[in-house]
Structures are given as structure tokens and as C-alpha cells.
Amino acid sequence: MNVCKTAAACGRWFVGRTPPRPRMPARCLWTKFRANNFGAYEVVCLGNVSDPRPVPEYVTLPSYAKTGRPVDEPDHDRPPEVQNAGQIEMLRQSCKFAKFVLDSARDRLTVGTTTDDLDRFVHDLIIDNNAYPSPLNYRWFKKSVCTSVNNVVCHGVPDDRPLVDGDLISVDVSVYLNGFHGDCAATYCVGDVDEPGRKLAKVAEKCTYAGIEVCGPGKSFADIGRAVELYARQHDLSVVPSITGHGIGTYFHGPPTIFHSTLHVYPGVMKPGMVFTVEPVICQGDGDVEILEDGWTIVTVDDSRGAQFEHTILITDRGYEILTV
């Protein structure tokens, strides 16, 4: 789950273009069908969202679980935290578990399954392992996982829309285990996705790795955005510049802010012990996005599809380590 939340909460991080503007209310039956240069697929609107799922008393809670307000997150103007060996080991466990949940959810992505069904599965799996689903009630997010389908590029709220043949769905899993968060995401094809959609997912994954591969001690944070943007442009796709990665630890989001394009630069260089996410959103259109009336769901203005892959990485003495494997 990336650092951009609602427009009110994180408008300062929407850079390069104006912040996503709220779209006028327009609930639908998930219906518009798109057939143009972007491909053939359903354009997704908001569905009906069920109540948040309960959390047993024995589960260790993050700071915001009851109030919705994260009180432990460092200010983004502070230097990124350097984790010690003990903290790094705890982060490894959280990230490994997050990836396990993500991989387990993949098998549930079949035609006819609703994203609310997926939320139930993810929530129960996390709770059954004595962990907490990090998105749940984070700044009042109602669900335990983010599910972003087709033109929804980020922070999709699970609802009653059934997945249909040809959908692209990005699943963003974050967990809070033993006092530390782990965060990862991937985009999957449901049924028979058209060639432009398959290309988008493939390039988006390679963009993430292009950003990761330039990481290491002494490297500039700006190198990530340059690498991601270059790879996307080489394949005639765009980066959504307003969606960023973030530092992670005992807090869900903190410095550094990881920009995935060249429109803005986070200062400084990477140091051993820093832990952060690389999670670019790549889209078929021009990268302009807006927020729907639920205050969370981010969609492309031109209804083009997006895809996202995310890993949490550790900067080591010799390079980097991907923790979400």
C-alpha cells in the first residue's frame, strides 16, 4: 500500500501535475465496456462495500487500528530510519508473510469471485496467523486488502463486483506481524486478458525490477524514478507520478518517499539498513488520475488500465535485498 491516501491526507505528494481531483458521484453496475487503442475491457466504477471485518482481541494492533489515526509515523521531512539487525530480522518475517498471503490470494482470482470474497480470504488468513491486515482502518480504510481492477490503478476498495474474463487486477497486501509491517503487490490476469493488457502487466513488473536494480549504498533515491520512467517510455507506457513508495518498519509509512518518475526528486542517498518499498503504477494512458467519491479509489482520467508490482527492499552493505520473496 503506497504513501498516497486521500487527497486531503496526502495532496502534498501528488507531484508534477495537479493532485487527483474528486470525480463527480457516479455509481454504476461496473458496466462501461472499453474497446479502443487501450484494448477491450470493463471500466470499473464503485460497487457496494460491506462492513469492516472483526479482529480478535488477541491480535497485536498497530497504532491506528481503533482510531484510524496513525500516531507513530515519522514526518516525511525527517531522515530515513536505519534499521538495526534485530529490526531487519523482524521485517524479514513480516515481508515473507506478506508475500505468502499475496501468493495464496492469487489462486482465488477466478471469474465470478468478488473482490469482497478476496478481502474475506486475505483477512482470515492474516488473522489465523496472529497478524493484523495493515490497511484495515488505516486512515479509515474499510477493508483488509487493496484490489484495483482495470482503470482503477490504486487503493481499490473490495466490493461486490464479480471478476470477469479479461480483468487485470492489482492486489496489494500489507501485514502487521510482531510489531512490524510488510508490504507487497502484484497484478494478475483473470481469464483471457487481451494482448495490450498482458503487455502492460509484463512491462509493469519489469519497471519495478528496473527501479530495484539501481538501488544500493550511496545510490541516489532519484535513480529509481529515472530507471522506472525510462523502461516504461521505451515500451510506450507511462508512469503514474503521483503514486509513490515509502519507508516501512514499526510504522506503515515513513521516509524516504520513493518517486517513480523524474517529475520530483527525494534528496539524499541510500544507506545500509534503510528499508522501503518500490511500487510504480504503470498505465496505458498519460498518467493523469483522479479520486472517486469514496476518497480512496484512484482511477485514470482517460479510463486506461494500470498495473502495479511492489516489493519491500533492504539496502545492504553491497547492494540490496528483496524482503518480499
Q: Which residues are annotated binding-site positions for substrate?
A: 155, 253
Reply yes or no: is the peptide bond before residue 256 cis, omega within 30 of 0. Answer: yes
Cβ-in-10-Å burial (0-12, 13-18, 19+) of 304 comes to: buried
| 223: nearest Cα among 260, 274, 254 | 260
Cell of 67: 482510531
Sign of CA dihedral 235, 148, 134, 254: positive
* Residue type present at position 255: P
Pairwise CA distance, residues 296 & 154, whole Å:
8
- First-to-last alpha carbon distance for the chain, in angstroms, is 17
**For 159, what's the count of Cα atoms within 13 Å in the CB-facing half-sphere?**
21
| Angle subtended at Cα 57 by Cα 54 and Cα 61, rounded to the nearest 5 degrees | 85
Q: What span, in angstroms and rounded, lies between the C-alpha atoms of 154 and 135?
A: 13
Binding residues: 155, 172, 183, 246, 253, 279, 310
Which parts are annotated binding residues for a divalent metal cation? 172, 183, 246, 279, 310
Amino acid at 121: F
Grid cell at residue 36: 479502443
Phi, psi of 201, deg, nearest 5: -65, -40
Task: Measure the CA–CA gap between 115 and 190, rounded to whole angstroms.
Answer: 12
**93/116 Cα distance (integer angstroms):** 27
